[in-house]
Amino acid sequence: MTREPWEFRFELPGLPPSTNALYAPVSARGGRGARIIKSQRGRAWLTGAQLALQAAWRRAFGRRQPLSGLPVELRLWFGVERISSDTSNRIKALEDALTGIAWCDDCQVVELVARKAVVSSARVMGVVRIAGGVDVNTQRRIQRAKKARA
């Protein structure tokens, strides 16, 4: 299999917690909602995932900074122990874990593909690439969103 000029592959044991189990909404000023991590278990998963992802990033790229302002593609494969496991609610936790490691902000994700398969032990594998074929307007929207959050 050929590797793209810029490609980050990772594998994490177990599955990320569901967004519903990880975050609790908090009312904030100005009408914008905020989120806090609900449980110690969720915080432990997020911290452990970030440490594992940082180590994988350093093995792949050394001390290279995360992609800044570039559109990225995220491909995920969930290995689940039963098919009823909800993958769509687990994607946000992975995007948050990758923020600051592979990209600066998860608004840079312009393409997302997620699949799941039944396996004997739960795990998630993923690939982050610079998105190809992203039009100029999308790139500009990413830049504006990044500036607005700064």
Show me where the domains of the chain are located. 7-149
Residue 85 CA to residue 150 CA, distance in Å, equals 36
What is the per-residue pLDDT for 109? Answer: 92
Which single residue is written with the structure tokens 């290995």? Answer: 79
What is the per-residue pLDDT for 77? Answer: 94
CB 116 within 8 A of CB 64: no
What is the per-residue pLDDT for 135? Answer: 66
User: How many other C-beta atoms are found inside a 10 Å radius of the C-beta of residue 45?
Assistant: 21
CB 126 within 8 A of CB 16: no
Instruction: Specify the CATH number for 7-149; select among 3.30.1330.70, 3.40.50.300, 3.30.70.260, 3.40.50.970.
Output: 3.30.1330.70
Look up residue 88 and give its two tokens: 């769509």
What is the per-residue pLDDT for 140? Answer: 73
Residue 44, phi-psi category: left (phi > 0), alpha (psi -120 to 50), beta (remainder): alpha
* pLDDT beneath 70, residues of the chain: 1-5, 25-35, 133-136, 138-139, 142, 146, 149-150
71-111 pLDDT per residue, tens: 899 999 999 888 877 788 889 989 999 999 999 988 899 99
What is the per-residue pLDDT for 1? Answer: 42
Smallest CA-to-CA distance from 96 within 149, 42, 147 is with 42
The pTM (predicted TM-score) of the whole model is 0.77
Look up residue 54 and give its two tokens: 């940082």
